[in-house]
Amino acid sequence: MINREDIPRTRRWVVKIGSALLTAEGAGLDRQALGGWVDQMADWLQPGHELVLVSSGAVAEGLCRMGWTRRPDTLHELQAAAAIGQMGLVQAWESCFQRRGRHTAQVLVTHDDLSDRKRYLNARSTLQTLLSLGVVPVVNENDVVANDELRFGDNDTLAALVANLIEADLLILLTDQDGLFDADPRSRRDARLIKHARVDDVALDRYAGASKGILGSGGMHTKLRAARLAARSGTATVIASGKHPDTLRRIAAGDDLGTLLVPAQEPDAARKRWLAGQLQARGRLRLDAGAVQVLRQSGSSLLAVGVTDVEGRFSRGEMVACLGPDGEEVARGLVNYSADETRRIAGQPSSLFEEILGYVDEEELIHRDNLVVL
């Protein structure tokens, strides 16, 4: 799918509604707005159409329910707020969808769940079953058990992984701005809306910058990253404002609204998509320029001879990030040797592995089937 005119033909959507939008500027859930989005989603859900909702707002609603005026500092208090608020969140979605004759289902996942291949496949089957039953899954991060290290943190990334899981046609990220601008519109009044771009356009990184919203956790940077991740399953992304009463209806009609970010290449195979969605790398391999070129141009396996430095502690089979000489991450993959072994064979041809290690597990440090170039 490339253009707006193709959107009316899309059948499978992931709609993500961010904290900034859902919580009425920090005053708890905006139930009126929520009802409006449900009406638009329910209208779109004609036979043949399927939708997963990714909803933030648990922490913000929890704070409101407890009368806490500021975000607590400790992780446990935040987790408690999420647990309290999640009740309000699912109650609100369920009652609005019920009015439209739709059931909803609560789906809470952690990063850990989706990095385990078996649990990833389980999540996929459950979501697909729910969709085939005509139920609307309402997904959020399981904040209660996720610790700092193993969090998605923002729901943009989670929504993109869900889009990958179900191979959605369209990911819609509803937020408090009209889309991605060429600068943060809160600080630059002359910022220009980007209406259409390919996800690999490098100028987008400059536009998204690092600044975040007040209530949300990611800002535009995580939305851009999410669009790139979603593109791996051929999913296009629209970033648009949920503040207007008919945003989803207009997107469905193919109106020129928000920012449309389209995939730049053919979808990855399912296993590579799962690999690309792994956020936590256990270690980092620094590659020389030749290795970077080979990975980027011919999709080959990574050989130890192209590795100049090894950081971190990892075991065989764990995820490592591969960085170019300038420090930019170029690929990630599941490594065939532990950190200690990798340090010993770095820079060496595979023909010397036997001599150095006393054995050879694999000729490649990372096999191309277990490697994704970013």
Ligand X SMILES: Nc1ncnc2c1ncn2[C@@H]1O[C@H](COP(=O)(O)OP(=O)(O)O)[C@@H](O)[C@H]1O
- Minimum CB separation of residue 324 from ligand VHF in Å reads 29
Q: Which option in ligand X, ligand VHF, none does residue 82 bind, with CB closer than 5 to 8 A by kind?
A: ligand VHF
Q: Which option in ligand X, ligand VHF, none does residue 23 bind, with CB closer than 5 to 8 A by kind?
A: none
Nearer to ligand X, 230 or 287 (CB): 230
- What amino acid is encoded at 163 in this protein? A
- Minimum CB separation of residue 175 from ligand VHF in Å reads 8
End-to-end C-alpha distance for the chain, whole angstroms: 21
The answer to whether the CB of 180 falls within 8 A of the CB of 259 is yes
Task: Tell me the site size for ligand X, rule CB under 6 A.
Answer: 27
Q: Does 213 interact with ligand X (rule: CB under 6 A)?
A: yes
Q: Does 105 interact with ligand X (rule: CB under 6 A)?
A: no
- Minimum CB separation of residue 188 from ligand VHF in Å reads 21
Nearer to ligand VHF, 58 or 136 (CB): 58
Output the six-digit token pair for 126.
């459950």
Q: Candidates 7, 13, 18, 34: give the one binding ligand VHF (CB under 6 A).
A: 18
Q: Does 141 interact with ligand VHF (rule: CB under 6 A)?
A: yes
Residues 181-220 that bind ligand VHF (CB under 6 A): 216-218
Residues 216-255 that bind ligand X (CB under 6 A): 216-220
Stretch that binds ligand VHF, among 149-157, 192-200, 245-253, 302-310 (CB under 6 A): 149-157
Angle at 193 between CA 54 and CA 43, to 5 degrees: 40
Q: Which option in ligand VHF, ligand X, none does residue 186 bind, with CB closer than 5 to 8 A by kind?
A: ligand X
| Interhelix angle 58-66/75-99, nearest 10 degrees | 100
The answer to whether the CB of 255 falls within 8 A of the CB of 179 is no
Output the six-digit token pair for 292.
């970077």
- Minimum CB separation of residue 222 from ligand X in Å reads 7
Residues 71-130 that bind ligand VHF (CB under 6 A): 82
Residues 129-168 that bind ligand X (CB under 6 A): 156
Q: How many CB atoms lie within 10 A of CB 138?
A: 21
The answer to whether the CB of 139 falls within 8 A of the CB of 158 is yes
241 is in an annotated binding site: no
Q: Candidates 177, 233, 237, 370: give the one binding ligand X (CB under 6 A).
A: 177
Measure the CA–CA gap between 285 and 321, rounded to whole angstroms. Answer: 6
Q: Which option in ligand X, ligand VHF, none does residue 57 bind, with CB closer than 5 to 8 A by kind?
A: ligand VHF
342-348 long-range contacts, CB within 8 A, separation 24+: 342/283, 342/285, 342/304, 342/307, 342/310, 343/310, 345/304, 346/285, 346/304, 346/307, 346/308, 346/309, 346/310, 347/304, 347/305, 347/307, 347/308, 348/304, 348/305
221 is in an annotated binding site: yes
Measure the CA–CA gap between 348 and 186, rounded to whole angstroms. Answer: 52
Strand arrangement of the beta sheet that strand 307-312 belongs to: 307-312, 283-287, 319-323, 329-334, 371-373
Question: Considering all CA atoms of the chain, what is the largest pairwise distance in Å, rounded to the nearest integer?
Answer: 71
Residues 328-357 that bind ligand X (CB under 6 A): none
Q: Which option in ligand VHF, ligand X, none does residue 208 bind, with CB closer than 5 to 8 A by kind?
A: ligand X
Binding-site positions for substrate: 56, 143, 155
Binding-site positions for ATP: 16, 175-176, 217-223
Binding site for ligand X (CB under 6 A): 18-21, 56, 156, 175-177, 180-181, 183-186, 207-209, 211-213, 215-220
